[in-house]
Structure 1
């Protein structure tokens, strides 16, 4: 493979693999809770704990394709570093959301809101990168360095709760 291509996507691939490991962890939690619920009762009814784990896993799974698409678009079209940082932040937030879902309902909201902010950041990075591409095609101008500088400057603000 071309070394330049690998250099521009290696961080995105690492974040993607970490997210796969996280999905496997969530699936094991669902499976484990299912076994516990089925061993406690002879009937095939689900327990409240299983319902919470299953719902949390389903909610995380529903948002996963959008996250991956935005991560890769932002990393390829805009800047790999801030996109990978935002991806790691999203995975931490998703973990917080999943664990919060298993606890009290008030613990869910911070992870959810923070996750929306990270997804919005990735979306804006993707749009800026794609817009830059078309500006280059139609007008011959390239503002990618400015976009990278802005995304590098703004990405640490994702840490603010």
Structure 2
């Protein structure tokens, strides 16, 4: 039984652990920028703000990624999770320069969160169809989400 459960979540676990490492990287950047000078600089304020913004959206990301992976299919959810982490890295690095450089990463991240949210809704809707009507469209929906997850790479 244990291997069956792990088989359905291991990709989500890997993406979650990578996101934890990314959070540690962000925290180290904030600490490094804070230790450089005793007087808070604009660079320190930008790094702190970027870190805070990333932390504000982190619970939402984890919730929709895990729900999408459990309700529908872990492979496209994990793929979207990796792409979201790349977008979040782009946002963080862009925010350290000028705030206008962070806008593409922010918008890309929003689109990925929306895709994960739609996966959750479709998975729940499919479950309700199975429960009340006996119609299971999970294979078709998994095929569509797997194919459409590649569209996330288009900026």
Same fold (TM over 0.5): yes
What is the 5 A alignment of 1:3-152?
3-38=3-38, 41=39, 46-152=40-146
Task: Compute the RMSD of aligned alpha carbons.
Answer: 0.9
In 2, distance between residues paired with 1:58 and 1:113? 17
SS of the counterpart of 2:8? helix
Between 100-109 and 67-76, report the one with greater CA deviation: 100-109
In 2, distance between residues paired with 1:2 and 1:137? 25
The structure with the larger Rg is 1
- Per-residue CA distance 1:67-125 (angstroms, 9 max, x = gap): 00000000011111100000000000000000000012221110011001100000000
In 1, distance between residues paired with 2:100 and 2:30? 21
Q: TM-score, normalised by structure 1?
A: 0.94
Between 102-111 and 73-82, report the one with greater CA deviation: 102-111
Contact persistence 1:86–1:122 (CA under 8 A): yes
